[in-house]
Structure 1
């Protein structure tokens, strides 16, 4: 809205304010309808119901959520929902989520997600989709889970992997750099106060929520002014409302998982060399054979491009590796307003490129990019 608003801007702003007051907001936060198809320990797999008058075709897509963040990351609001986009295009769309994390889960590490949760979800989706291979799409830590599962179990029916803002190397992460010296105060054995604390507790919900909001720090600081000058922009106001709705529902990390993330990703950056020790065995990223699409957010301060890009040379066994920089921060790159014409279009092209040709049925599909 201009500093001296035009009459139509004043009318639009008044209409937006009135609509928000009467209806409790501007964003359409209705979740896309879905059906539970499989469940187990720390695993609920959902199939999103096909859109009206749309026939599902092609290989399925499985959306893998990170810990702490709700599955709203993929279904933020109508008009800015990757789920809505995929379902509307006739793509069989699935999601795995993990249930509520509490203090009783503090002894859980990341092993269950890599060993069981993600692999079981991939198999369940493939079976539900008639045996077709699965395009696995993971955001943030969900991308790391998917990557490690694919490397550890190469027999999984995975057609392709897509990693969005997946932190491989934390050495240059801005929010970690200022506190990195503090992480070593406990000596080589890591017996700092932070180390002892996570062994007893889960990462608190307010702490996790604060970390998620850091990716929108500039927006949060400028919100009063931004809202005042854009009261006539309903889509912008709806997006701010939806992001606030998302961050308010962030949960917590199990204590041992937080400890593993602290020691291996933050303190040691242990995945940066391509090998990861888990439960007494080494998982090598070079074992990933599926094609991999990697996204970095141009404005991501949680997992900036410097933390994402190092995975590329480590995927030596992959049939193809593609890297794309797209607009937005950590959440915005996935489901921001610009994602409709950037991230989602690239993802559509990628899934289509590596999908099984309908005439040949399930099997290793895809073709090399030109």
Structure 2
């Protein structure tokens, strides 16, 4: 089996003379960027960090990223958990803006669980499958490679909620060392964009959306993409102006390109899982009241008994600060509960240009504090 890796990134084309004055240097950078874009069709290096599967499950796969430096046995392994709907390469967005690349450079072993959103039976998978089966199986598989020692968990968006709920569920006894949730909204009443949907649900008893996802079997990928874009309408409307006025800013152009690729790679939400999110999270806000029930039993955040790091984006409209912070009032059993707010929106706080100096440093410090 070969590691997953895309062809090497193109080299830069010829540059204009680097003259002493600022305007000339700007023109030079613009020329380089335009040359590379025209010649190679892109600027961003979006090759994925190589990884190999270590567990093939029913509708999911656990991968181990290939180390880039010698593995440090003193560092506990970390399992990354992406959300439904968004591609897993949010953790590995591009070279220079990849949390995976950054963590591998510390000598820590990094694993990730990925889902098959289109395979047989995908539409019938509910949240209990992720909480009670998929994540525990992934954790046991990783722990088995490390003398059955507990594993760090880190998730983004809904993936972060999966990590919290897995730690709260007592069904599997999964070996969890700590949990980190990036941009994971616990209280949807604090999410302005959800308010119209909650009003419609209350007025109709939830029938309109229930009929839609049952008929389609899922929440379509196109709708997922629109939902993300709706949260950043201003950015999309001003994108042409931003590009035109920042042709000399290579890093910004690369980031925009990589984010556009992520948006184009959205997948559908499984129908049953979306139905549960709609009824129990959006409509009833059960998570915020710590009364969520899965498979007929309560799964309470108050039962989480491992260290937890909650990361909120200061500009996030999908998971506003208040929606994330609500969890601090519910995670009463955690022996080390940390809540931090950093620059960025829903994706930016995880993979933005400022994440390396902010949220990634908090994550690495938190993991180091609980490696033993």
Whether the 8 Å contact between 2:59 and 2:119 is mirrored in structure 1 is no
Q: CA deviation at 1:102?
A: 5.9
The one of 213, 224, 227 aligned to 2:229: 213
- What is the SS of the residue equivalent to 1:46? strand
Partner of 1:278: 294
Q: CA deviation at 1:218?
A: 2.5
Distance 2:346 2:129 in 1: 25
CA distance change for structure 1 residues 194 and 121 in 2, over 3 Å: closer, same or farther?
Answer: same
Matched, 1:247 2:248: no
Partner of 1:114: 131
- What is the SS of the residue equivalent to 1:6? helix
Distance 2:199 2:101 in 1: 44
Partner of 2:49: 32
Partner of 1:365: none
Distance 2:95 2:233 in 1: 24
What are the within-5 Å matches in structure 2 for residues 301-312 of structure 1?
301-312=317-328
Once the two structures are superposed, residues 243-290 of structure 1 have per-residue CA deviations (whole angstroms, 9 ceiling, x without a partner) of: 000110010111121111111111111111123111111111111110
Q: Which stretch of structure 1 is more off in the superposition, 202-211 or 235-244?
A: 202-211
Matched, 1:156 2:174: yes
Distance 1:101 1:275 in 2: 31
What are the within-5 Å matches in structure 2 for residues 1-370 of structure 1?
6-51=23-68, 53-57=69-73, 58-101=75-118, 104-153=121-170, 155-187=173-205, 190=206, 192-201=207-216, 202-356=218-372
Q: Which stretch of structure 1 is more off in the superposition, 154-163 or 320-329?
A: 154-163
Once the two structures are superposed, residues 306-334 of structure 1 have per-residue CA deviations (whole angstroms, 9 ceiling, x without a partner) of: 21111101111111110000110000000
Whether the 8 Å contact between 1:277 and 1:283 is mirrored in structure 2 is yes
Once the two structures are superposed, residues 146-182 of structure 1 have per-residue CA deviations (whole angstroms, 9 ceiling, x without a partner) of: 1111111373211110011111110121211133221
Distance 1:244 1:91 in 2: 29
Whether the 8 Å contact between 2:123 and 2:272 is mirrored in structure 1 is yes
Q: CA deviation at 1:293?
A: 0.3
Moved over 4 A (4+): none
Whether the 8 Å contact between 2:61 and 2:114 is mirrored in structure 1 is yes
Distance 2:85 2:119 in 1: 11
Distance 1:172 1:316 in 2: 21
Whether the 8 Å contact between 2:139 and 2:176 is mirrored in structure 1 is yes
Structure 2 residue runs without a partner (length 5+): 1-21
Paired residues in the alignment total: 348
CA distance change for structure 1 residues 247 and 102 in 2, over 3 Å: closer, same or farther?
Answer: farther
Distance 1:164 1:140 in 2: 6
**Superposition TM-score, scaled by structure 1 size:** 0.91
Q: CA deviation at 1:215?
A: 3.9
- What is the SS of the residue equivalent to 2:355? helix
